[in-house]
Amino acid sequence: MSVAMHHSFVFRADAGPGIGAGHVMRCLALAQRLNDAGHYSSFACRQETVESLPALARSGMPILKLSCSEYDEPEQLHQFWNSRGIRPFLVVDHYDRGKDFEKLCKPWTQKILVFEDLPVRIHDCDLLLDASPTASIEDYDGLVPKKCQILTGPKYALIRQEFLAIKKRSLIFRHDMNDRLIRVFVSFGSVDGKRMLLPTLKVLREKQVGVDVAVGRAAPHLELIRQMTEAQLGEAKLHIDTDSVAELMASADIGIGAGGITALERCVVGLPSLICCAADNQRRNIDALSKIGAALAIDAKAGFEKILNSSLKYLQDNISERINMAYKAASICDGLGALRVLLACIGGMSTQYGQMITFRPAEYSDAKLIYTWQSSDNMRIYFRNPQIPAWNEHKKWLKEKLLQHQSILLIVLADCVPAGLLRLEPFDERYAQKEISILIAPEHQGKGIAGVSLSLAEAVFPGIGFFAEVLPDNLGSHQLFSKAGYNQKSETWFFRSPRL
């Protein structure tokens, strides 16, 4: 079976004092996941974006600086990538680019993926993503083509890898939370467009707590923010265009911030939060998170300082509420949205019997299903540990495994029905290598699903080299990996080099 090589992804997004950095930052989260898998990502944006967002330049990804009019952008993009012989995926995260722009880009792209926050604009795209907690597929009836794949909800939120790397440590910290507030993380976006940092710092000054303030250098009132930070009675630090937001969130007792993508980042690390609306498109996030109990909403219009002060006191005096809020926040978003979007973009492969094989990330709710597969007769005969674990041991193993950000557990789907488990475990990260293993449910064996799953894994992760350990007498697996193009390196190890 021929396997697709890497894909190229072009991100059309902008940032600046007027629109903030949220669009580009969530694009960077997906681009990072794509590049880690072995695909290529690049950006197309205005000069102002490059000047106002150092994180984009630090990413090292190619940037096409657009200088033409809005109406000539599709042709400039076409000419740039056509000259390189590339037919890329186009990812559009821009409120001023809709159906007309996308239609003009269709002829030179493989697929078009659009990011949305409000179901009000018409699109001509192949995939649409709305990570708002209340978003639904029905919201986009009549707004996208009938064949468009719609991805909704916070499980698709585009969270940067550094949040996954620190998630386990942060959640342990929440479990052993301090009785009193020691440190507060504050950020209302890179430019603080509604100027909520200043009144927030005024309130925090009287609390005498440690404060970490994160803001971008493009904030027009940066000097005032600096002065207010220096005036705090407790230890306070100003972090400008920092790459350490995940670490700051994980070290804080509570967060105060806006309702955009950072609200879901706070959920990933289980940070109890006071949440304020910094833009109209955040209202759905705020309403949903406060209703679930993952955050306390504060009205920025009416008596902001008074409400913020009373809300802070409430969380100071209620350790049980902070713990409960942390638990509910962590349950909303697991941080695997970028992986889910990657899987959606690559799609699936068919077996010789016509079954469509796809992947989805494993979740804790799959514990019983995976346990049933692993406990089936003769299933564990070639496992490293052939003994069937106790149910509680299995649940503990899965819970731990899902918190290990370098481990990837994928449920194999055959025509959307769970049919097995494919695992990628760290092997040698210096050379982008992982150990691969696959388990197919007894009722789905003998249908070619395992072989197609290995090929699909290559298509999703073309930049990763896979090692597979196979016991000498496991002749079926020897044949499986040999047929899939793996080279036998020793009596028990097979290897498949990256497909770049």
Boundaries of domain holding 414:
347-496
Q: What is the pLDDT of residues 305-362, one digit of tens each?
A: 999 999 999 998 888 899 999 999 999 999 999 999 999 999 999 999 999 999 999 9
CATH number at residue 486: 3.40.630.30
Mean pLDDT of 54-69: 92
324 and 284 in a common domain: yes
141 and 287 in a common domain: no
In a domain, 337, yes or no: no
294 and 176 in a common domain: yes
CATH number at residue 175: 3.40.50.2000
How far is 112 from 124, CA to CA, in rounded Å? 8
In a domain, 84, yes or no: yes
Element (H, E) at 288: helix 283-292
Specify the range with the lowest mean pLDDT, choosing from 1-5, 207-211, 310-314, 441-445: 1-5
C-beta separation of 493 from 468 below 8 A: yes
Burial class (CB in 10 A: 0-12, 13-18, 19+), 121: middle
User: What is the model's pTM?
Assistant: 0.94
How far is 404 from 200, CA to CA, in rounded Å? 35
How far is 302 from 239, CA to CA, in rounded Å? 29
490 and 355 in a common domain: yes
Does the CA dihedral 379-380-383-389 come out positive or negative? positive
In a domain, 341, yes or no: no
408 and 263 in a common domain: no
170 and 137 in a common domain: no
261 and 301 in a common domain: yes
In a domain, 338, yes or no: no
C-beta separation of 152 from 136 below 8 A: yes
270 and 299 in a common domain: yes
Specify the range with the lowest mean pLDDT, choosing from 89-98, 110-119, 172-181: 172-181
In a domain, 339, yes or no: no
Residues forming beta bridges with residue 112, ordered by sequence position: 90
475 and 376 in a common domain: yes
142 and 12 in a common domain: yes
The reported pLDDT for the residue numbered 300 is: 72
Where does the pLDDT of residue 454 fall: very low under 50, low under 70, confident under 90, or very high at 90 and above?
very high
246 and 189 in a common domain: yes
Count of domains for the chain: 3
